[in-house]
């Protein structure tokens, strides 16, 4: 696995590691009687003056100190040279980045991607805004061949929900050599496990809703870049389209990030143990998890990530009705969409009509939380063992 980076401290020249940054970042300056935690700034406008003042806040759609605390921490985690940009949702951040594709331009993206991304791209294509080519992101030669006519390469790694792993260094280098803009959705890995900007990505996006906020009570997104011109364009799109986060939501997300390192460590360890047990379960036909030796993405993930994440996909035996009954029968797991929260979620992905037809009908995506591993296993084992094989 790659070495964990040290990140410059916001206060002083010392460098801090990521699991310290999530705790210490985005706090007030260390002055006597200063609050330990950041404040929530609730305002729609700011006091100004009779004249024009460069870079003043002016209005609540342009900036907010509470967003900036969150944006500072995200930038430091992703090793960006510029503050991140927070958005009202992950899809709002995705829409902002996709707006960088010129009208009529070509986008290359994985055939298995977040369904919101796929639906948005389909809508843009139907209106003539862009054309799209989908690829098997694990097939490096196929992706590189598709770049010759591309304006943007969109990557997920691991992919949602099939957990394919892209060769990020190779693909990002190939795109850069051809002048193709690149964006990586880093939601599954989080910046604790993977930092695509280090591999040459132009932009990274996150659904902050998921692991970063971590408590299933916030809808937010973010985009991160070290390119000043790209950041200006993204910020302009956010401002003009009103895709801004609420200050309270930004504050909640930052509070959730304080435990990010602990949650990622615990949930990933549990996910690995469950994946190993599920591989031996008689009612499970297939397990997809990059942490398993023998998984198609294992060696690649081990080489370019600092861990394997907390999402496991399984294909149980039985038909759709039997698998749906198993989902309905869980007691510790929660049948729900989304992922990355403290609670473990289970979902049959093809219940969503936007999900690609290449995703198996009975595939279950497991978002592993921080509950006791034995309780999670006993619940899964019980419902899976009840499937008529």
Domain ranges of the chain: 7-257, 260-385
pLDDT of residue 53: 76
Quote the pTM value. Answer: 0.95
Q: Which of 3.40.640.10, 1.10.1740.110, 3.50.50.60, 3.40.50.620 is the CATH number of 7-257? A: 3.40.640.10
**CATH of the domain spanning 260-385, picked from 1.10.8.60, 1.10.1040.10, 3.90.1150.10, 3.40.30.10:** 3.90.1150.10
Give pLDDT tens digits for 174-198: 999 999 999 999 999 999 999 999 9
**pLDDT (tens digit per residue) in 220-253:** 999 999 999 999 999 999 999 999 999 999 999 9
User: Dihedral (C-alpha) 220, 226, 228, 233: value to the nearest 10 degrees?
Assistant: -40
Pick the closest to residue 93 from 59, 116, 60, 72 (CA basis).
Answer: 116
Count Cβ atoms below 10 Å from residue 284 Cβ, excluding itself. 18
Catalytic residue numbers?
A: 61, 114, 185, 210
Q: pLDDT tens per residue, the chain (389 residues)?
A: 444 455 555 544 468 999 999 999 999 998 999 999 999 999 999 998 877 777 789 999 999 999 999 999 999 999 999 999 999 999 999 999 999 999 999 999 999 999 999 999 999 999 999 999 999 999 999 999 999 999 999 999 999 999 999 999 999 999 999 999 999 999 999 999 999 999 999 999 999 999 999 999 999 999 999 999 999 999 999 999 999 999 999 999 999 999 999 999 999 999 999 999 999 999 999 999 999 999 999 999 999 999 999 999 999 999 999 999 999 999 999 999 999 999 999 999 999 988 999 999 999 999 999 999 999 999 999 999 998 66
Total length of the chain? 389
* pLDDT, tens only, 280-336: 999 999 999 999 999 999 999 999 999 999 999 999 999 999 999 999 999 999 999
What is d(CA 374, CA 117) in angstroms, rounded to the nearest whole number? 35
C-alpha dihedral, 321 to 323 to 327 to 329, nearest 10°: 70
196-235 CB burial, b ≥16 within 10 A, e <16? bbebbbbbbbbbbbbbbbbbbebbbbbbbbbbeebbebbb
**Burial class of residue 29 in the structure, from the number of CB atoms within 10 Å of its CB (0-12 exposed, 13-18 middle, 19+ buried):** exposed
| Cα 91 to Cα 110, 124, 184, 357, distances in angstroms | 17, 13, 14, 22
- pLDDT score recorded for residue 3: 47
Would you say 134 and 373 are in contact if contact means Cβ atoms under 8 Å apart? no
What is the spatial distance between Cα 274 and Cα 377, in angstroms, rounded to a whole number? 7
């Amino acid at each position: 696995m790659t070495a964990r980076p040290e990140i410059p401290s916001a206060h002083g020249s010392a460098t801090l590691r990521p699991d310290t940054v999530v705790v210490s970042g985005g706090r007030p300056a260390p002055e006597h009687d200063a609050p330990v935690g950041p404040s929530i700034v609730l305002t729609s406008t700011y006091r100004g003056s009779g004249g024009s003042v460069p870079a003043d806040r002016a209005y609540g759609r342009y900036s907010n100190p509470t967003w900036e605390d969150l944006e500072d921490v995200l930038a430091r985690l992703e090793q960006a040279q510029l503050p991140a940009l927070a958005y009202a949702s992950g899809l709002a951040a995705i829409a902002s980045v996709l707006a960088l594709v010129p009208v009529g331009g070509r986008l290359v993206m994985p055939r298995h991607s977040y369904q919101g991304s796929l639906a948005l791209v389909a809508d843009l294509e139907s209106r003539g805004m862009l054309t799209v080519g989908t690829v098997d992101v694990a097939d490096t030669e196929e992706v590189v061949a598709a770049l010759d006519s591309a304006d943007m390469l969109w990557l997920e790694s691991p992919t949602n929900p099939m957990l394919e792993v892209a060769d990020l260094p190779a693909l990002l280098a190939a795109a850069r050599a051809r002048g193709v803009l690149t964006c990586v959705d880093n939601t599954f890995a989080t910046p604790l496990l993977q930092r695509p900007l280090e591999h040459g990505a132009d932009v990274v996006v996150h659904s902050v809703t998921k692991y970063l906020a971590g408590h299933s009570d916030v809808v937010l997104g973010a985009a991160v870049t070290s390119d000043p011109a790209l950041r200006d364009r993204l910020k302009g799109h956010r401002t003009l389209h009103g895709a801004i986060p609420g200050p309270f939501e930004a504050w909640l997300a930052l509070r959730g990030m304080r435990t990010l390192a602990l949650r990622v460590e615990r949930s990933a360890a549990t996910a690995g143990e469950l994946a190993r047990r599920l591989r031996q379960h008689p009612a499970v036909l297939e397990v997809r998890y990059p942490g398993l030796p023998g998984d198609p993405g294992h060696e690649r993930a081990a080489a370019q990530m600092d861990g394997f994440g907390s999402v496991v996909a399984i294909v149980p035996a039985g038909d759709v009705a039997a698998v749906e009954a198993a989902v309905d029968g869980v007691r510790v797991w929660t049948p729900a969409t989304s992922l990355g929260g403290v609670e473990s979620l289970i979902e049959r992905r093809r219940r969503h009509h936007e999900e690609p037809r290449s995703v198996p009908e009975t595939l279950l995506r497991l978002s592993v939380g921080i509950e006791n591993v034995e309780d999670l296993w006993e619940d899964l084992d019980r419902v899976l063992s009840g499937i008529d094989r």
